[in-house]
Structure 1
Amino acid sequence: MRVSIVTPSYQQAPFLEATLRSVLEQDYPDLEYWVMDGGSTDGSREIIQRYAPRLAGWVSEKDRGQTDAINKGFARAQGEILAWLNSDDTYEPGAVRQAVEYLQAHPEVGLVYGDANFINAQGAAIGRFPAAQTDYRRLRQGYVHVPQQAAFFRADLWRQVGPLDPSFYFAMDYDLWVRLARLAAVAYLPGKVWANFRLHGEAKTIAADDRCWPEMLRVHRREGGSVFSVIYAKYWVRKLVGPLIRWRRRQRLRTE
């Protein structure tokens, strides 16, 4: 089974090479890799050019942001399994092979994911993403727990529910998980660390995660959800404690 991986990138030169190497050094032979750069001026283009002979293709041109870049990459993809890896995150060795093996053995599963470490700007592990098993019902309640960096899904399902909604800045992955889970089973493999989720000062998770929950509520309402629901309760709790969470994340990064 061919695997197509897309990396959207913009102005991430300090981390981009580690991302590229983590994909290209996977031990899975049938891997197609697309890099979609948004016209970076920080040296990213030169980094991509060094690895161009090993890529299925790449572009460096102005786009409409991360979601647009991912959609453009998947529009070119020929694989039966898809994933995207942001240009400041990395895969762990063996991640792609293990994901493919699981999907081959479980044809009823449309999305599989493992664990992901939180890492700092220097690449040191500083925690673990709170991954857990979820499904369509629990996703609609805001029980996400899917580390996007460690998620792989079937291309035939993508063709039914894609592309990503470009109106989402933050929750486009949550929106996709809901749409995939509506059609097929979702599987979490605990203990399988497949990726690293980098937290740094410019990361969206640090800089703008207060935009995530309102976008998730849009998905909830689209799926017929009520304001009298678990996800709305979680939203109001997160709204109250969100500033403290973001402050603690920034403090943690400063002390690592």
Structure 2
Amino acid sequence: MPKTVSIVVPSYNHAPYVEACLDSLYFQDYPDLELIVVDDRSDDGSHEIITQWVARATSGLPPYTRPGRSIRYERNPVNLGSTRNYNKGFTMATGEYCSFMASDDMAHPQWLSTLARPLDQDQADFVYADMFIIDDAHRILREFKLPDYSFKRCFCDWYLCGVATLYRRSLHERFGLYDETSNADDHECYLRFALNGARFLHIPQTLYSARSHDQRQVGLHEPKQFSKLLNASRELTRLARARSHTLS
């Protein structure tokens, strides 16, 4: 039997993109998917769009007829901020494997089935793949090829695991959720996993499209916030270099 995959979609003011994001998840070729959407009090109409999408996706009417789909949607009563919003979704997750997906990104149909395979075969605890960078019109701006995993290459040179990820939810149970005080929350979390012995594996296939923010400097990509993110990642890279001698 396939393991359930839980995907958390933290939503905030991505009204033009969120339906395409959710469709790209619903129509994955993976058979057992738990989709958890948590809207962080968007004020751009996202809530109404997501509500309508959930109604369609759970109607059983074409094209939303795939079995093995569990869909949960919650809207926060107040804005929690991105990391607390991720964590709220992960506390709701029940799948053996998990990841999160920004509500303006798009998954390619084989993303989950491809990354779940090495987890099923116990080759890794955390798997990541390559991705396209796309613009608002879905044009491909570049292909982001990530390195095969080594602690040095992926954490000491810089953070190079990307966002096309899938990992065992037990890593959160053992090592904690995303650090709500960190300005580089995924970098910090995955470094923590690695320092505690999680096995990482790179799949050299392009399975995901991440949205460029060059023309939309909002949220984490607002200049001051992005500067904080870069500074936090620099400190985490220094930490990785300092700790690298403790890893085989």
Shift of 1:117: 0.1
User: What's the secondary structure of 1:56's corresponding residue?
Assistant: strand
Counterpart CA distance in 2 for 1:118 and 1:15 is: 15
Counterpart CA distance in 1 for 2:99 and 2:17 is: 19
User: What's the secondary structure of 2:132's corresponding residue?
Assistant: strand
1:178 maps to 191
Shift of 1:50: 1.6
Q: Which amino acid aligns with 1:86?
A: A
Counterpart CA distance in 2 for 1:12 and 1:174 is: 23
- Kept in 2: contact 1:110–1:181 (CA 8 A): no
For normalisation by structure 1, the TM-score amounts to: 0.80
- Kept in 1: contact 2:159–2:233 (CA 8 A): no
**Count, aligned residues:** 223
Shift of 1:224: 8.0
- Kept in 2: contact 1:111–1:154 (CA 8 A): yes
Identity of matched residues, %: 29
Shift of 1:40: 1.0
Summarize the Cα distance change of 1:49–1:154 in structure 2 as closer, same or farther, 3 Å threshold: same
Counterpart CA distance in 2 for 1:214 and 1:65 is: 19
Counterpart CA distance in 2 for 1:77 and 1:47 is: 23
Choose from 186, 194, 210 the match for 2:227. 210
Q: Which amino acid aligns with 1:19?
A: C
Q: Which amino acid aligns with 1:154?
A: R
Summarize the Cα distance change of 1:206–1:117 in structure 2 as closer, same or farther, 3 Å threshold: farther
User: What's the secondary structure of 1:131's corresponding residue?
Assistant: coil
1:144 maps to 159
Shift of 1:108: 4.1
Summarize the Cα distance change of 1:206–1:131 in structure 2 as closer, same or farther, 3 Å threshold: farther
Counterpart CA distance in 1 for 2:27 and 2:242 is: 43
User: What's the secondary structure of 2:242's corresponding residue?
Assistant: coil
Summarize the Cα distance change of 1:218–1:97 in structure 2 as closer, same or farther, 3 Å threshold: same
Counterpart CA distance in 1 for 2:124 and 2:86 is: 22
User: What's the secondary structure of 1:219's corresponding residue?
Assistant: helix
1:153 maps to 167
Say if 2:145 is the partner of 1:135: no
Please give the residue correspondences for 1:63-74 in structure 2 after superposition, counting only pairs within 5 Å. Answer: 63-74=79-90
User: What's the secondary structure of 1:99's corresponding residue?
Assistant: helix
Instruction: Compare the two structures and name the one with the higher helix fraction.
Output: 1
User: CA-to-partner distance for each residue in 1:59-93, whole Å, 9 max, x for gaps?
Assistant: 11223211111100000100010110001111001
For normalisation by structure 2, the TM-score amounts to: 0.82
Counterpart CA distance in 1 for 2:6 and 2:189 is: 17
2:39 maps to 37
User: What's the secondary structure of 1:74's corresponding residue?
Assistant: helix
Summarize the Cα distance change of 1:213–1:42 in structure 2 as closer, same or farther, 3 Å threshold: closer
